[in-house]
Amino acid sequence: MDEAEFLASYDPRAYPPVAVTVDVVAFTIRQDELTVLLVRRACPPSEGMWALPGGFVREWEDLATAAARELAEETGVATAHRRLHLEQLGTYGAPDRDPRMRVVSVAYLAFAPHLPDPVPGSDARVAAWTPVHEATDLAFDHATILADGLERARSKLEYTPLATKFVDDEFTVAELRGVYEIVWGEPLHAGNFHRKVLSVPGFVESTGGVTERGGARGGPRAKLYRAGDARLLHPALLMPSREETVR
């Protein structure tokens, strides 16, 4: 039997049906807190519960397109945002994760600074940026997906320049340190952090400019930097709580 004959006789109904969904863990920093985008479900299953934005993949869509569409439809947040970083996080396929049928979800991770207030739509009753530490009791297995997303974000800050996705095009080292402290949830020594950042080739580069004003207590104006061309940080910037165990 050649391939054409095989495909002509192939019956997909001989196998149990499986649906594919996408879920999006979208992070931004608001009022010095790491927040995640959540929606309150407007219909069963888990009606009224908070969940990550997402939904079923349509037959003609690839996965990234479906993730972008669901994010826009349920929350009004478009992936066309100039600074948005979107990457695949993982796949979740426990047999009982959805009571409707066997559903496999491909999760995506998104980051950007200054993401707008969400506008609920589609099957979302409410959409809101929620501090990560308050994002509990989520529908389906979304608490696990969120935890994995947070761990991915924290680890990527160690070995990639992802932190520059949370700040403006031009930023100070202090603003960059603030991103690390908020995402890691750990205080950092200002002088050590400044030295480490400037010692990593390609991490940041000087714009030649300075801030319009000095710090809150006066003093010289801070130098401004932009993201460099590095894709990986070498040496990596390790979380203080991990430094001893790694070394």
Q: What pLDDT score was predicted for residue 16?
A: 85
Which SS3 state, helix, strand or coil, does residue 232 take? coil
In percent, the amount of the chain with pLDDT more than 90 equals 68
Given a cut of 70, whether residue 81 has pLDDT beyond it is no
Length of the chain as a residue count: 247
Question: Are 69 and 53 in contact, with CB atoms under 8 Å apart?
Answer: no
In percent, the amount of the chain with pLDDT more than 70 equals 94
pTM of the shown model: 0.90
79: confidence class by pLDDT, cuts 50, 70, 90 = low
Query: Across residues 34-50, what is the average pLDDT?
Result: 93
Q: What pLDDT score was predicted for residue 212?
A: 84
Sequence letter at residue 6: F
Tens of pLDDT, residue by residue over 178-218, are: 999 999 999 999 999 999 999 999 999 999 999 887 766 66
Q: What pLDDT score was predicted for residue 89?
A: 97
Question: Are 84 and 113 in contact, with CB atoms under 8 Å apart?
Answer: no
Sequence letter at residue 242: R
Q: What pLDDT score was predicted for residue 23?
A: 97
84: confidence class by pLDDT, cuts 50, 70, 90 = confident
d(CA 175, CA 222): 10
According to DSSP, the β-strands at 19-30 and 103-111 are parallel
Given a cut of 80, whether residue 220 has pLDDT beyond it is yes
Q: What pLDDT score was predicted for residue 94?
A: 95
d(CA 56, CA 70): 9
Burial of 132 (0-12, 13-18, 19+ CB in 10 A): buried
33: confidence class by pLDDT, cuts 50, 70, 90 = very high
d(CA 81, CA 191): 33
113: confidence class by pLDDT, cuts 50, 70, 90 = confident
Question: Are 166 and 113 in contact, with CB atoms under 8 Å apart?
Answer: yes
Q: What pLDDT score was predicted for residue 247?
A: 58
Question: Are 202 and 229 in contact, with CB atoms under 8 Å apart?
Answer: yes
Q: What pLDDT score was predicted for residue 216?
A: 63
Q: Where are the beta strands (DSSP E) in the chain?
A: 19-30, 33-41, 50-51, 54-56, 85-92, 103-111, 124-131, 204-215, 218-227
87 contacts: CB under 8 Å, gap ≥ 6: 108, 109
Burial of 212 (0-12, 13-18, 19+ CB in 10 A): exposed
Question: Are 48 and 132 in contact, with CB atoms under 8 Å apart?
Answer: no
